[in-house]
Structure 1
Amino acid sequence: MDIVNFFVSLLKDPRSAIAGWIVALGPVWVYTPLFLIVFVETGLVFFPFLPGDSLLFAAGVFSAPGGGLHLGATLAVFYIAAILGNTSNYWIARFFGSRIIDSGKVKSLTPERMAKLDGFFEKYGGLTIVITRFMPFFRTFAPFIAGTGHMNFAKFTLFNAIGGISWVSLFVLVGYFFGGIPFVQEHFEVIVLGIVAVSVAPAFIGAVKGALAARKK
């Protein structure tokens, strides 16, 4: 239950978590939990619910002058975590993908989401890895599906790097440049939840459309 409460509070207010890590871990080791959360969200298909977008945004806020983090270090740590995470996910799928899918233990890896990603790969090819970076749940499953046979590793690595750098840069820099605005500071939790809602919206809309289509059939 404690771990569930931790993730819920991290999702609602990553600012408090990062502030606590800065105090407890110092200016160097504070990057360890930041790295791990992004790496685990993107690298392990069992943890698609971790708050990547809101964490990047909040870290960007703390990377502004006087915030406790350094912008260059924040970007570098998240770039590495995002790219290595997807790479790990890809190779896990290469070696164990069919076993994991057949076991049914990853409840969030539903047939509907797999079909959706299959459609993405057919329509957009390698760009799927870039597009899904901005879609919670799908960004965790896309490299996994790519590793099951949709893409060779060289092509995957190119799009993985483009997607990881684009995703991290967008959310961290938005937090860096706009996080100090008084309105943002005063309504931080609402804005973070708004970021989560906007990020989840495509997946939610797709699920609704899929349910309606299935009902018509």
Structure 2
Amino acid sequence: MHGENLQEWIKHIGYLGIWAIIFAESGLMIGFFLPGDSLLFTAGFLASQNFLNIFVLIFGAFACAVFGDNVGYATGHRFGRRLFQKEDSRIFKRKYLIQTQNFYAKHGQKTIVLARFMPIVRTFAPIVAGTAAMRYKTFMTYNLIGGAVWTVGVTLLGFFLGKVIPDVDKYLLPIIAVIILVSIAPSIWHVVAEHRSAKNSPPDEPQETYEPQEK
């Protein structure tokens, strides 16, 4: 979606549309494909042009991001084992859960914060946390931190660039492209690292399987 098209789209859907997308991408499995980073950045830019109120925008985005993660956690806590056994469909891909679980196993609790900046992973991280029986108090702490850093940071970046750079809207497309690239870079690095590790592992080494553990 081009920068100008994204701006018009955001103007059309308004606050409720923005918040609904942030909620869906944070905790609903069908939301993994949604453009959270570019959406927040562009919405922040539009706030700098007085199309939106920055405080209302950030508060709603933060609340929906935190609430969305809570829904994902509850889903994983209640249906986690079934999800890992579920067959692939057009919407649900079990590999996304497995990839997120491997990332979670490597990076632990801070995954809840790191995942906010990683498309796909941010959708499934709270589900994996719930499946792994991560203590809710611990999860909520990281959820609040990650939700604040992501929604406030990315939105304010768009807001302040819109204020200090003349005609920044002309550069929205490359800026959004950079944001997307930075967002997916950790995922690419993780996949490459896993591939190298698997390639260098002994052929008879057993594959690790998912086992939920108390956190």
Same-fold status (TM-score > 0.5): yes
Which residue number corresponds to residue 3 of structure 1?
Answer: none
TM-score by length of 2: 0.84
Partner of 1:52: 36
The match for 2:185 among 190, 193, 201 is 201
Where in structure 1 are there 5+ consecutive unaligned residues? 1-8, 22-29
Native 8 Å contact 2:84 2:97 kept in 1: no
* 1:19 and 2:3 matched: no
The residue type paired with residue 40 of structure 2 is L
Which residue does the alignment assign to 1:118? 105
SS state at 1:109 partner: helix
Is 1:146 matched up with 2:124? no
After superposition, the CA RMSD in angstroms is: 1.9
One-letter identity of the residue aligned with 1:197:
L
- Residue 178 of structure 1 corresponds to 161
Cα deviation, residue 139, structure 1? 1.3
After TM superposition, give the deviation of residue 165 of structure 1 in Å: 1.0
Choose which of 10, 15, 24 in structure 2 pairs with 1:31.
15
Runs of 4+ in 1 over 4 A off after TM superposition: 10-13
Write out per-residue CA displacement over residues 168-216 of structure 1, whole angstroms, 9 at most, x where no aligned residue.
1100101110024236321211111110011000101111121122223
> Alpha-carbon deviations, 1:145-181, whole Å to 9, x = none?
1101241112211211111011111001011100242
Tell me which moved more, 81-90 or 98-107. Answer: 98-107
Which residues of 2 match residues 55-94 of structure 1 at below 5 A? 55-64=39-48, 66-94=49-77
Paired AA for residue 198 in structure 1: V
Q: How many residues matched?
A: 196
Q: Deviations over 1:38-93 (max 9, x none)?
A: 100011123212111111101101112x4310011001110111000000000011
TM-score for the superposition, normalised by structure 1: 0.83
**Could you tell me how far apart the structure 2 residues matched to 1:134 and 1:170 are?**
11
> What percentage of residue pairs aligned between the two structures are identical?
32
